[in-house]
Amino acid sequence: MTSKNNSKQLIWAGLLMSSITLTGCGGGNGSEGGSDSGNSDDGRIIIDDPVINDPEPDTGADVPSTGGGNESDSNSESDNSSNDNDSNSPDDVGSNESESDADEESTSEDQSDDVTDSDSNQESDIDESTDSEPEDATDISEDSASDVEDDATEDESEAGNNDGTATNEENASDDSTTDEPSDDQNEDLEQAAQFAGQLVITSQWDSGYGAEIKITNQSLSALENWQLRCESSLDITSLWNADYQASNGTLSLTPVSWNSTLSASQSLTIGFGANGSLPENALTNCDLSGFDIQFAQVDAEAPLEEEEGNNDSQDEQPEVPDTSGDVVLMTDLVAAEAALTSGELMALVKQAIATRDNATVEAVDANNPENPENVKRVEAILSEADWDYVFPRRADEYTYRKFLQAVAKFPAFCGPYDDGRDAVAICRKSLATMFAHFTQETGGHTSWWPEEEWRQGLHYLREVGWSEDMANGYGICDPNTWQAKSWPCATYPEGHPQAGQYKSYFGRGSKQLSYNYNYGPFSQAMFGDVNVLLQNPELVADTWLNLASAVFFFVYPQPPKPSMLHVIDGTWQPNANDLAAGLVSGFGVTTQIINGGIECGGSSEHIQSQNRINYYQAIANYLSVSISESEVLGCANMQQFDSNGAGALAIYWEQSWTQENACQLVGYQTAFSAFMEGDYAKCVDHYFDVEIVEVMN
């Protein structure tokens, strides 16, 4: 069998999500180093990687004005010289620099995941702040895991000998010393049956290890506002899913806002990183809200019990049909696609990026009793009056209704959880995180305005310096390139001043979506057709898509990075590799996701990162989101995600280099997405000279 395309197209790791252009950075558009996400149907997610820089448009200088209120004139000028762009331009790619190896599950995920309580994480944004004001408001730019099953059983031995042959004389003479437990013993046994604990090593490295404290409620009642206190010899460096104090050999844990209730038959997992190695009897004399609890300790070398049917690491290749030969059955290709995308992490991601039909979305309006569940949850937290208060300087196009419609499109955003996680608390945290994004990326950043800077978000709609009639911007439009073949650029019609010239895909909307290779996948996710937004890119600014693009980015992963949703709701649990890089749950890691190449990893907090922290704290306070003292809010000294992290997931199809008529999952962007059903067969057909048939003759 011969390959149609013997010369492998080298693609850049940070493509799709890597090209969000932001405004409000230094008064102008900064190009976000985070990127735009893929899409639920197409899945061609753009990965943030600071290897290659996108071109930066020339813009004018900011002109201060005395205007107030909503400004949305797309003609405002701003200095765009500080285009902070952590993205890659496909034209410059020479190698696959951030290929995700699809290390889909960490040891903790494979072996001992409990009901993951949502991490105390938030989102962050991308641009530098400035005191200059543009003349107009244009735009800038969670367990089924091996639940602790060592349920304590009550002593049910009956009075008499073990063989049940006690004589009447014995029974008559020793009634007071039967084997029935005393009241005190009953109480001890009852307590022992209430809660089960486990201390599990999840990962190790030279200087430390990662572990999880797991608590399972085996009673019939919920435990409210739990508190755990133990004698401890742990040298903890970071801890998530709880607040903690460690001093004088005592460890005290209290809940964060979303896991204060431990429901009956549910579990919670508290992760931590520590120095050295796990000592024996690390947690002793433990008290859980007045109940004694013992922690069974699992050694790093001891095999962890795995839940049946839950071992789907992508390191273990699933069995796929033999597709060698000149003719291949379509059913075999469909079966191969299903097998190769059957991992647990892949399933969780697909669930997170699922979308609703647009008819349902268009019907959404404030206080409509027919609104979807997740929309009603948002409305209960954020009213239209709240929207107006938080975003008084927004462009007119950013309406409350459009935000509700954007939420409606993605059911997982502020969606329900059936494992004990607090959906309302997660929603509040998600909103605070996203709004902090908005403010950094599209905010006025103007100190002399009467509104505090955290209330200046959504000021920009279109990238500063660009208008709808400007041609040939932000596109890989050469029809000879695979990018243009996959996401063809539109041209202006006859009669237009730019007739025949390519339309521009500059930054639009709250996420400043940029480039045709982002507009196409986003269009596929929104409409099932890549061409809708390629032909009409202005819709990303003028319709509810201006806010949907931000939700799209929020729920999509950027391999090897997890999605911000999975960080916040606790689905993402850092493994040893992540912990060694300082990637721990908290607001800071979301800054790493968005613009880590520019803002993270230094010895001190970058000014843009500090802006995000300030905005998040203020908005969180307004939305009644509690921020634990232990939460890591910044990303100084935090290294970048890589393909060995817990969030690494290969989501694109590339031709297999070892198997005939087959494709493999890779972590760099290609024209074929694992999120788009049928793309596996398209990949095989594209790369191999093979006949694909429905039935063998």
Q: How many beta carbons lie within 10 A of that of residue 156, not counting itself?
A: 8
| Catalytic choice (441, 605, 631, 654) | 441
- Tokens 């992963």 correspond to 557
Q: Which helix (H) or strand (E) holds 195?
A: strand 195-205
For residue 589, what are its two tokens?
């890691």
The Cα 21–Cα 467 span in angstroms is: 14
The Cα 622–Cα 616 span in angstroms is: 10
Over its C-alpha atoms, the chain yields an Rg (Å, rounded) of: 28
**Do 293 and 287 form a contact (C-beta atoms < 8 A)?**
yes
Q: Please return the burial class of 231, using the count of CB atoms within 10 Å of its CB with bins 0-12, 13-18 and 19+.
A: middle
For residue 105, what are its two tokens?
């599950």
Inter-axis angle of helices 587-599 and 607-622, to 10 degrees?
160
In sequence order, which residues have a C-beta less than 8 Å from that of residue 143 and are 6 or more positions away?
A: 113, 114, 115, 116, 267, 269, 419
Nearest one of 553, 288, 394 to 68, comparing CA atoms? 394
The Cα 148–Cα 214 span in angstroms is: 7
CA 673 to chain centre: 18
**Do 137 and 546 form a contact (C-beta atoms < 8 A)?**
no
Q: What are phi and psi of 680, to 5 degrees?
A: -65, -45
The Cα 42–Cα 647 span in angstroms is: 20
Sign of the four-CA dihedral 11, 13, 16, 21: negative
The Cα 473–Cα 477 span in angstroms is: 10
**Do 125 and 40 form a contact (C-beta atoms < 8 A)?**
no
Please confirm, yes or no, whether 441 is among the known catalytic residues.
Answer: yes
Q: Please return the burial class of 294, using the count of CB atoms within 10 Å of its CB with bins 0-12, 13-18 and 19+.
A: middle
SS3 534: helix
Active-site positions? Answer: 441
